[in-house]
Chains A and B, each alone.
Chain A
Amino acid sequence: MNNLGCARGGLPLLEGVSLRLGAGAALVLRGPNGCGKTTLLRTLAGLQPPLEGTISAPAEALAYAAHADGLKPTLSVRENLAFWAAVHGQRDIAPALTAMDLRDLATRPAQNLSAGQKRRLGLARLLVTGRPIWLLDEPTVSLDTASVALFGAVVRGHLASGGAVIIATHIDLGLPEAQELDLVPYRAKPRAMPGGFDEAFI
């Protein structure tokens, strides 16, 4: 990612962000609320075009986990996960169920899960995508300490197998090897967007 700038709601938020992530590397994005962590991750995931700069990672290598988990309340845990596995051309969901400790919940409809259990299911989705670079937006929201440790272990396993992770978070995931990137210095100066697309007309 080179000299990246991105905007949210027609307002430039970040500019000049450059970073390089090798296999097995983790990067933690820091910064106060509203400084552009989510926007940066959405831009990286290809959900919105960057204002300037380039992303050199191929879109097929990136798996994005947002605040919303993309779960269907009337489908069971297994059905939800099997759907995302099928979409990504994978078949085996058992390792993901085991890794996120969802084995006992497999037949429960997602609407009966607690917030933390839903989150665990949402994160298990990352494992069935089979993609090397994970973009995680506050992955630990509503997880208890044990689940955070569980997820930390999953992330470490992913890194050990040659993956890479970019995490926006406020808490410590127990990844001492992770680099940190504070987004505050990259904050964009207020300016009019050149040739901006006005989406406010609707």
Chain B
Amino acid sequence: MIALLLRDLRLAVRAGGGFGLGLAFFLILAVLVPLGVGPESALLARIAPGILWVGALLACLLSLDRILALDYEDGSLDLLATAPIPLEGVVTMKAAAHWITTGLPLTLLAPVLGVLLSLPAPAYGWLVLSLALGTPALSVIGTFGAALTVGLRRGGLLLSLLVLPLYVPTLIFGAEVVRRGADGLSVATPLALLAGITLGAAALLPFASAAAIRINLR
């Protein structure tokens, strides 16, 4: 299973792996929003938590269809399905590789972009913490969506439509953590719910993803 994780990471950083795509999108979004809404820092500070979380979510969404579609096209998925690794382990590793190449860099980049959006100082720590807790859920849920649409040609649009509603709870609680952190309120409740979503998704969705792949490979 570690071999699979290492292979996916290696593929992501080689030519055409799409490693920087999500990051570049996140950067562009954070640069364009202040240009669009104007330089008024009070307004920017109010919307910054939401913008940063929406940006991270959309950046995650960009690379979802690569998780399984490429392996399906070149036949690797058939071979992985007949390999000794359980398919649940395969999808977990795929989600982990997606998080390391997308969610983790987004989490590390977010405070820098927070400066561009004049995010209030007390919120930076909560921003990093909420993204670190919430982006694994985005990867796991996204892998489930990718598993559902794996046999479809150009299934990217359907994948986005399927996955976006599933992302809503993560977005609500993630942005809520940052907003409350910025206002100096208690963040315990949204933080606990966010962690709950991530743990629940990571525990249950690999089974659903593996089942969806098995049906799609028939």
A-to-B contact residues, CB < 8 Å: 45-49, 59-60, 62-64, 66-72, 74-75, 79, 83-84, 86-89, 125, 197, 199, 202
Contacts and interface: CB of A to CB of B under 8 A. Distances in A.
Nearest to A84: B79
A182 B85 CA distance: 34
B40 interface: no
A74 B76 CA distance: 14
Interface in B1-20: 3-4, 7, 10-11, 14-17
B14 A74 contact: yes
A64 B78 contact: yes
27 contacts: A45-B82, A47-B81, A47-B217, A48-B217, A48-B218, A60-B84, A64-B82, A66-B78, A67-B75, A69-B75, A70-B79, A72-B11, A72-B74, A74-B11, A74-B14, A74-B16, A75-B10, A75-B11, A79-B10, A83-B7, A84-B79, A86-B3, A87-B3, A87-B80, A89-B84, A199-B215, A199-B218
A46 B84 contact: no
A70 B75 contact: yes
A48 B216 CA distance: 10
Contacts of A66: 75, 78-79
A87 B84 contact: yes
A59 B81 CA distance: 11
Nearest to B218: A48
B152 interface: yes
A49 B73 CA distance: 21
B82 A70 contact: no
A-B pairs, 8 with minimum CB distance: A68-B75, A86-B3, A70-B76, A74-B14, A48-B218, A70-B75, A70-B79, A87-B83
A121 to B, nearest CB: 12
Contacts of A72: 7, 11, 74, 76
Contact of B78 (A59, A68, A199): A68
Contacts of A74: 11, 14-17
Interface of B: 3-4, 7, 10-11, 14-17, 73-76, 78-85, 152, 215, 217-218
Contacts of B16: 74
A72 B16 CA distance: 12
Contacts of B3: 83, 86-87
A158 to B, nearest CB: 17
Contacts of A49: 218
A67 B14 CA distance: 26
Contact of A87 (B4, B14, B17): B4
A199 B216 CA distance: 9
A131 B106 CA distance: 42
Contacts of B152: 202
B201 to A, nearest CB: 23
A84 B4 CA distance: 9
A71 B10 contact: no
Contacts of A89: 84
Nearest to B148: A202
A55 to B, nearest CB: 13
A89 B73 CA distance: 25
Contacts of A86: 3
